[in-house]
Structure 1
């Protein structure tokens, strides 16, 4: 017996507005909450700030400068470390902002023929940046 060919029923959805077309309501898009971005941190000249502290520690600037650059406890602690020597930055400081008004600074310096690291944390208060931590890692 020869094969029998039969027509298949229509399986495509109807198109257009012809007979049998039933429009489905489209789901409404849900509102998406988009957070408002924080404004950027105020400008920070890390090389100048670190350089000024290093100049005080080397005895090339007066110690009263520390009162403007650091919180009181840190300024007193750094003031005790002043002695005559030569310190120069080897590279530009790297700055990281873990929060909007906080900056963490690291820099490599050459001090008396040795290369050491400086790590500092500065916070922005009353319109200016002040160091809250300053460490020379020898």
Structure 2
């Protein structure tokens, strides 16, 4: 008595089969089209470590100030060129990059300079096939 499986009986079907109700064919409702946005192509490759490293090396006097003209817009290159002083700055971590749009990158990184930890923030824009810093600040 204890070793017998329980008896399972089938229940009658509750809903009619799809497309048939009382002998009549019910047309299926047409699915509504769903608007799917076209995915935006990925951002062009942005090497944040290299660009931030170039600017920091110029600001420390380890590279020529003319290199700023290759990575920054002219107004920013001129402003940063006036901040060059002999010192040692190194990146503590890999830069964090955020892309608010396809051709814009915002960068932040922690650096160590003269025993102090400082934050660096910058904004780069892709123009003419290259990334250019339009803003760069060492927050002291």
* 3-state SS in 1 of match to 2:121: strand
Deviations 1:60-110 (A, max 9, x none): 100110011101111110000001000000011000001001000000000
Runs in 1 of length 4+ with deviation above 4 angstroms?
Answer: 12-19
Q: Post-superposition shift, 1:14?
A: 5.3
Contact 2:107–2:121, Cα closer than 8 Å, also in 1: yes
* 3-state SS in 2 of match to 1:52: helix
Is the radius of gyration larger for structure 1 or structure 2?
1
What is the aligned-residue RMSD (CA, Å)?
2.2
Matched, 1:103 2:92: no
Name the residue aligned to 2:125.
123
Q: Matches of 2:122 and 2:98 in 1, distance apart?
A: 11
* Structure 1: runs of 5 or more not aligned: 1-11
Q: Matches of 1:77 and 1:99 in 2, distance apart?
A: 26
Q: TM-score, normalised by structure 1?
A: 0.86
Contact 1:117–1:136, Cα closer than 8 Å, also in 2: yes
- 1:77-96 pair list within 5 angstroms: 77-96=79-98
* 3-state SS in 2 of match to 1:64: helix
Contact 2:119–2:139, Cα closer than 8 Å, also in 1: yes
Q: Matches of 1:93 and 1:18 in 2, distance apart?
A: 63
Matched, 1:71 2:79: no
Q: TM-score, normalised by structure 2?
A: 0.85
Name the residue aligned to 1:58.
60
Q: Matches of 1:35 and 1:16 in 2, distance apart?
A: 33
